[in-house]
């Protein structure tokens, strides 16, 4: 049994930095708050501290009743009756709005007062156990910066820009083939040492192409997973692959592209132990594309051909031996939740290995206050985030599978930054007791996610809810069964997984959501419903009962795609260095209303 957070009495600020929970009333609350913000009873408090103290003092419980608005009114009308409790403006020249709770966030110091650079962990009373969660949340290519810094968290005059930075390695999808699904012998990526060669003609390549392909580099392997090149023979017209992720394939035939990258994979020659191993020995030399500053993933190939989602290590390549058979990292590696051996040189069918990815960092912010209308004393909460994303061409994804289709899409939609994965979301982050603090049982509210890959795109709105089943009603134009209230069109989808309503998962907009202009991303949520809004216009209403034991954190981040599962085949990662560094998300303001 856990203690519920007294949310009605501690509405705006639960914790600042490492300060304890604030006193419930009286001067002690203000003193503790000022201390946490850099001031105290004998000091002159900063403007940020004064604003926050004023907000705390003015936030009280109410006996009023909120009238649930449904899908008809726009956001500004729907929040009538809710109290503004949070009003943050971001930017080096930002000025507080003038509201009683207005705060200007103008520097990294201000930012650190209210946010963590990584996901944190709440306890049941709303206290933060830590703010040092995983540097990768959901199989992304990049790593999030562990501290606020001027490269990944850039204060511009009108906002805070979350910016990916590439410091080592390269994103370079330099060659593509297509698996011949009607003739030939198909594509093979087998187990270590026993994989049979694939004919170049069966994947749309020629002997001339082999000159650009380096042994030890990786290819997206058909519809699912990654394979590594282990041999090539121009005279025989063959190339040999071994499976890395997604399982083995033998004589696989399908209408899929194969995309060759500079990602690299080598199998370990000795066991790797979490938290202990700093230098890893390999059976074969690591490819020349592996350089100091890159990151790595430990891949369990012996049985599952997969990597633990905890396994996104923040250790960087420090040096590579002259024979390229050993790699030393700047700290002991941590490739999974277990503290035991995680990589073995031998397995049931094959040895484990390490997948090397470019040294790409990005920025995110996670609130130090808790969110959630489901907690004691609250009926409803509304959150609105104003952001700007890059100006990208109209693209909503499609049936792009083979080389001709993929390269045609890239030419037609030139200017797309592939792998762009911005998100505004709230997560119920519970203690999990493992080495990363990652929680498997949290509930999630996605206010907005864009998935910029071949099947998604910067014009497709998504706002998924996770860990519980739910139904959804979409907002349509009056008299229309096909056009959404905001002019978009719902893509065809089946009722599956958590979302039990068909044709209500992805909304294709007539213009890019990543438009280079300001957009507002909003939700109103009660204990059993959530309404999503885009630019103030209702998108959908979901019947979703939120977790009542732990508060949520608000997170805003720029991920740069993923290599997991079918995402690799969807090319959900930067195809060039420019794609990686051309991504950003600028935060202008965050506002919250509650009752």
Q: What is the dihedral of CA 537, 539, 545, 551, to 10 degrees?
A: -50
> Which pLDDT tens digit goes with each residue over 462-494?
999 988 899 999 999 999 999 999 999 999 999
- Return d(Cα 273, Cα 245) in angstroms, integer: 21
Residue 315 burial (CB count, 10 A): 18
Q: At a CB cut-off of 8 Å and minimum separation 6, what does 484 contact? A: 474, 475, 476, 477, 490, 507, 539
Please state, rounded to an integer, the average pLDDT across all residues of the chain: 85
Residue 107 predicted with pLDDT over 60: yes
pLDDT band at 310 (very low <50, low <70, confident <90, very high): low
16 within domain boundaries: no
482 within domain boundaries: yes
Between β-strands 380-388 and 364-367, what pairing exists: parallel, antiparallel or unpaired? Answer: unpaired
CATH classification at residue 92: 2.60.120.200
- pLDDT (average), residues 81-105: 98
- Return d(Cα 444, Cα 236) in angstroms, integer: 52
Q: Which two tokens stand for residue 243?
A: 């499976």
Between β-strands 175-178 and 121-122, what pairing exists: parallel, antiparallel or unpaired? Answer: unpaired
463 within domain boundaries: yes
Percent of the chain residues topping a pLDDT of 90: 67
- pLDDT (average), residues 341-350: 84
472 within domain boundaries: yes
Tally of domains in the chain: 1
pLDDT band at 437 (very low <50, low <70, confident <90, very high): very low
Q: Which two tokens stand for residue 173?
A: 């999808």
Q: What is the pTM of this model?
A: 0.89
Residue 152 predicted with pLDDT over 60: yes
The more confidently predicted of residues 298 and 454 is 454
Q: How far is CA 70 from CA 371, 475, 539, in A?
A: 21, 10, 11
383 within domain boundaries: yes
Could you write out the DSSP letters of every residue in 506-533? Answer: EEE-SS-SSBSSEEEEEEEEESSEEEEE
Among 166, 217, 205, 154, CA closest to 419: 166
Residue-range definition of the domain harbouring residue 581: 27-65+84-166+363-594
Asked if 164 and 362 touch (Cβ cutoff 8 Å), the reply is: yes
277 within domain boundaries: no
Of 159-168, 339-348, 399-408, the one with minimum mean pLDDT is: 339-348
CA-based angle 68:72:77, to the nearest 5? 65
The H-assigned helical ranges of 383-472 are 403-412
> Which pLDDT tens digit goes with each residue over 220-268?
988 889 999 999 999 999 999 999 999 999 999 999 999 999 999 999 9
> Which pLDDT tens digit goes with each residue over 376-434?
778 999 999 999 999 999 999 999 999 999 999 999 999 999 999 999 999 876 555 44
Of 14-28, 107-121, 402-416, the one with minimum mean pLDDT is: 14-28
178 within domain boundaries: no
Helix (H) or strand (E) holding 448: strand 444-451
pLDDT band at 13 (very low <50, low <70, confident <90, very high): very low
Side-chain-side CA neighbours of 569 within 13 Å: the count stands at 20
Among 365, 460, 447, 464, CA closest to 420: 460
511 within domain boundaries: yes
Among 456, 556, 566, 469, CA closest to 506: 456
Asked if 176 and 407 touch (Cβ cutoff 8 Å), the reply is: yes
């Amino acid at each position: 049994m856990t203690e519920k957070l007294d949310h009605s009495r501690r509405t705006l600020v639960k914790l600042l930095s490492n300060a304890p929970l604030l006193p419930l009333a009286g001067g002690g609350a203000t003193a503790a708050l000022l201390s946490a913000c850099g001031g105290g009873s004998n000091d002159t408090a900063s403007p940020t501290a004064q604003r926050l103290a004023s907000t705390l003092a003015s936030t009280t419980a109410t006996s009023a009743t909120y009238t649930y608005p449904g899908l008809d009114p726009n956001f500004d009308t729907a929040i009538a009756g809710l109290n503004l409790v949070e009003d943050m403006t971001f930017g080096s020249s930002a000025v507080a709005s003038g509201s009683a709770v207005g705060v200007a966030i103008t520097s990294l110091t201000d930012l650190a007062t209210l946010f963590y650079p990584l996901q944190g962990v709440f306890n049941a009373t709303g206290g933060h156990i830590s703010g040092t969660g995983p540097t990768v949340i959901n199989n992304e290519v990049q790593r999030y910066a562990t501290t606020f810094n001027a490269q990944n968290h850039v204060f511009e005059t009108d906002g805070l820009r979350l910016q990916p930075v590439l410091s080592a390695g390269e994103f370079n999808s330099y060659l593509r083939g297509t698996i011949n699904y009607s003739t030939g012998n198909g594509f093979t990526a087998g187990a270590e040492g026993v994989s049979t060669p694939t004919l170049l003609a069966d994947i749309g390549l020629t002997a001339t192409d082999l000159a650009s392909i380096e042994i030890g580099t990786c290819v997206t392997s058909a519809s699912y997973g990654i394979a590594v090149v282990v041999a090539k023979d121009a005279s025989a017209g063959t190339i040999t692959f071994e499976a890395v992720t997604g399982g083995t394939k033998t004589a696989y035939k399908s209408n899929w592209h194969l995309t060759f990258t500079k990602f690299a994979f080598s199998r370990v020659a000795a066991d790797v132990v979490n938290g202990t191993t700093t230098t890893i020995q390999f059976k074969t030399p690591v490819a020349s594309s592996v350089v100091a500053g890159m990151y790595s993933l430990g891949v369990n190939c012996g049985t599952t051909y997969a990597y633990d989602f905890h396994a996104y290590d923040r250790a960087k390549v420090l040096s590579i031996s002259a024979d390229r058979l050993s790699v030393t990292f700047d700290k002991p590696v941590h490739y999974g939740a277990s503290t035991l051996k995680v990589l073995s040189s031998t397995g049931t069918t094959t040895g484990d290995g390490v997948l090397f990815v470019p040294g790409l960092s990005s920025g995110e912010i996670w609130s130090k206050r808790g969110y959630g209308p489901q907690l004691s004393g609250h009926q409803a909460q509304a959150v609105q985030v104003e952001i700007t994303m890059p100006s990208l061409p109209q693209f909503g994804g499609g049936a792009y599978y083979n080389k001709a289709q993929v390269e045609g899409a890239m030419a037609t939609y030139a200017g797309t930054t592939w792998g762009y994965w911005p998100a505004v979301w709230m997560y119920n982050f519970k203690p999990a007791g493992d080495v990363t603090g990652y929680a498997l049982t949290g509930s999630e509210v996605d206010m907005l996610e864009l998935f910029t890959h071949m099947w998604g795109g910067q014009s497709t709105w998504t706002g998924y809810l996770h860990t519980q089943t739910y139904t959804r009603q979409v907002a349509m134009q009056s008299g229309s069964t096909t056009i959404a209230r905001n002019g978009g069109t719902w893509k065809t989808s089946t009722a599956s997984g958590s979302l039990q309503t068909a044709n209500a998962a992805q909304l294709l907009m007539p213009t890019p959501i990543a438009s280079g202009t300001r957009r507002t991303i909003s939700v109103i949520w009660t204990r059993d419903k959530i309404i999503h809004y885009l630019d103030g216009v209702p998108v959908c209403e979901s019947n979703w009962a939120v977790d009542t034991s732990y508060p949520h954190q608000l997170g805003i981040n720029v991920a740069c795609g993923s290599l997991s599962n079918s995402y690799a085949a969807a090319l959900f990662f930067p195809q060039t260095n420019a794609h990686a560094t051309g991504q950003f998300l600028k935060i202008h303001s965050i506002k919250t209303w509650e009752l």
